[in-house]
Amino acid sequence: MSHTLAPFATDRLLELYRGMRLVREAEERLSALFAEGEIPGFIHLSIGQEAVPVGVASVLDEADTLASNHRGHGHAIAKGLDLDRFFLELLGKQDGYCRGRGGSMHVADMKLGMLGANGIVGAGLPIAVGSALAHKIRGTGHIAVVFFGDGALAEGVLHESMNLAQLWSLPVLFVCENNGWSEFTEGARQLTTDPQRMAAAYGMKATKVDGNDVIAVAGAAREAVATVRAGKGPCLLECVTRRVRGHFEGDPQKYRDAGDVAAATRDDPLARCESQLIADGISQADIEAVKTATAARVDAAVAKARAGPPPSPADTLADVYSPPREVAT
């Protein structure tokens, strides 16, 4: 796990910090909104895991495609999705990304190659593999990336997808966010193997990094993306991280030791990044300025989302099928 690249340009690190701060601020606000009953349904937060999506997305191109999962707010925000439309969707409003049809687990933006969060564990993998197949056949030069948790490692379709990607040498990066928990159960009670050995079994290149070290993630992702983009086949990037919150907001986590939560909270990727920034000569005031600006940006998005009109059932059926088109043969 020694992928930390030193020296790492300070301005680039500050950029990564801004990205992580935005995800953190957005999710902390979602947590509060959910507690106040302003978000319907349920949400899964990635607090404590921000270094993974932000580090990986920092080395992607806008046209690269991305498949996400149920814990996908960070993936969407890091891919550059519009924060206003993101919050509008989470609050179930007409002007949200999915016009209130999807919610937290289905945020998508096809213009940015964000192929959607996903409510089904492991389902993003074959979607990313197929997207990579399209990139390859169409010769776009782009790659596909899929984020999944360690819980997905036990899904059959994950293995089918890894085998297919390696067999066809597809430009896809598999990013495993290994946070140690599969819903309410520790990973150790779910698997007899681990991502590195799985990748080895398929002959796939794999790397393991400290997923709470954004520099390490960005560095390893840069190498992996370069390999994938060069047409050398898929890669697996395992990012070891920690789940600070419950499986879903409101999860009392009775299955979890208090010490585990405390340890996860202490190992904070944002705090670690701040320390590095200070060491690099960035002032505390500069860091506070980032926090203030980010909070203001999220405030604005929340205000807009609260004020947004709810969707009307009237035009909902029209989204089930595409508009009719003359078929030419």
Partner 1 sequence: MNEVRFGQAINKALADAMTADPSVIVLGEDVARPGGPFGVTRGLLDRFGPERVRDTPISEAAIVGASVGAAMTGLRPVVEIMFMDFVTLTMDALVNQAAKARFMFGGQLSVPMVVRMPHGGGINAGPQHSQCLEAWLAHVPGLKVVCPATVADAYGLTRAAIADDDPVIVVENKALYAAKGDLPDTAAATPIGRARTARAGRDATIVSYGAMVPVALAAAADLGRDGVDAEVIDLRSLQPWDEPAVLASLARTHRLVIAHEAVEAFGVGAEIAARMSDVGFDELDGPIVRVGAPFMPPPFAKTLEDWFRPDAAKIVAAVKRTMA
Site for partner 1, rule CB under 8 A: 65, 67, 96-102, 106, 108-110, 115-116, 118-120, 123, 125-138, 144, 156-157, 160-161, 163-164, 167-168, 318-322, 325, 327-329
20 vs 107, which CB is nearer to partner 1?
107
Q: Is 147 helix (H, G, I), strand (E, B) or coil?
A: strand
User: Closer to partner 1 at the Cβ: 180 or 311?
Assistant: 311
- As measured in angstroms, the least distance from the Cβ of 72 to partner 1 is 13
Q: Report the largest interatomic distance among the alpha carbons of the chain, rounded to a whole angstrom.
A: 66
Which CB atom, from 98 or from 216, has the smaller least distance to partner 1? 98
| Bond prior to 7 in cis (omega within 30° of 0) | yes
Q: Please, what is the minimum distance in Å from the beta carbon of residue 33 to partner 1?
A: 20
DSSP 163-203: HHHHHTT--EEEEEEE-SEETTEEGGGT-SS-HHHHHHHTT
Q: Please answer whether residues 73 and 54 qualify as being in contact, where contact means their C-beta atoms are separated by less than 8 angstroms.
A: no
d(CA 213, CA 25): 18
Kindly tell me which of 279 and 317 has the beta carbon lying closer to partner 1: 317
Q: How far is the CB of 197 from partner 1 (least distance, A)?
A: 20
Query: What's the closest the beta carbon of residue 171 comes to partner 1, in angstroms?
Result: 11
Question: Within a 10 A sphere around the Cβ of 9, how many other Cβ atoms?
Answer: 10
Q: Which is nearer to partner 1, 2 or 322 (CB)?
A: 322
Of residues 69 and 207, the one with the C-beta less far from partner 1: 69
- How far is 225 from 227, CA to CA, in rounded Å? 5
DSSP for 210-244 reads ETT-HHHHHHHHHHHHHHHHTTS--EEEEEE----
Which one, 51 or 77, has the nearer CB to partner 1? 77
* DSSP annotation string for 108-142: -BGGGTB----SSTTTHHHHHHHHHHHHHHHT---
Q: How far is the CB of 101 from partner 1 (least distance, A)?
A: 5
CB of 287 to partner 1, least distance (A): 36
Please spell the DSSP secondary structure of 30-59, one letter per residue: HHHHHHTT-S-S-----TT-THHHHHHHTT
Q: Closest approach of Cβ 129 to partner 1, in Å?
A: 5
Q: What is the number of other CB atoms lying within 10 angstroms of the CB of residue 76?
A: 29
Angle subtended at Cα 245 by Cα 196 and Cα 67, rounded to the nearest 5 degrees = 50
Q: Pick the closer one to partner 1 by CB: 22 or 164.
A: 164
- CB 90, min distance to partner 1, A: 13
